[in-house]
A = this chain, B = another copy of it.
């Protein structure tokens, strides 16, 4: 039915990922979507409104992808490691994290909310798994699972930053390997 609406949203998702919020103009969206000016402004009153719809879709998609990985069967810590080693287009960065650089996104609650929601969800899910890993004796009980979950997500997000700065995926991969060493070679002497 609403082919235009659909095309506008997916196109905006792609442009926000590539160029961020300030870097994405209504005209660029229209051109790439093949949708006219009048049509776009008929369905979305402002650029911010369309961006919000696109962000919400991207956040939902990211959550679904991560959920699929983290809900797999198997040892909890291994699932976290699988998530860390997941294949990624590193130099492209994170479709959600990228937007946190944009002051207009951070300043507008409606534009910031999808980021907060996606990262909040992922952190909670990781924390639950890390707690399970503690219960299995694979991680020390005295560690704070919530903090550790933030660390895991931060390594990924920071890895993207370092990779783009170096124009190479290498720093991302090193950061991940360093974290895996920290998580797997620890004082589980309790068992």
Contacts and interface: CB of A to CB of B under 8 A. Distances in A.
Interface of A: 18-20, 22-23, 91, 93-94, 96-103, 106, 112, 115-116, 119-120, 123, 140, 142-144, 146-162, 164-167, 171-172, 174-179, 181-183, 185-187, 189
B18 A167 contact: no
Centre residue among A20, A106, A158, A171 by max chain B CB count within 10 A: A158
Contacts of A115: 165-166
A156 B151 CA distance: 9
15 contacts: A19-B22, A19-B103, A98-B101, A100-B164, A101-B161, A106-B164, A115-B166, A148-B178, A148-B181, A150-B162, A151-B178, A154-B175, A182-B183, A186-B186, A187-B189
The A interface, classified by DSSP as helix, strand, loop or mixed, is: helix
Given A181-B147, A182-B182, A186-B182, A161 B164 contact: no
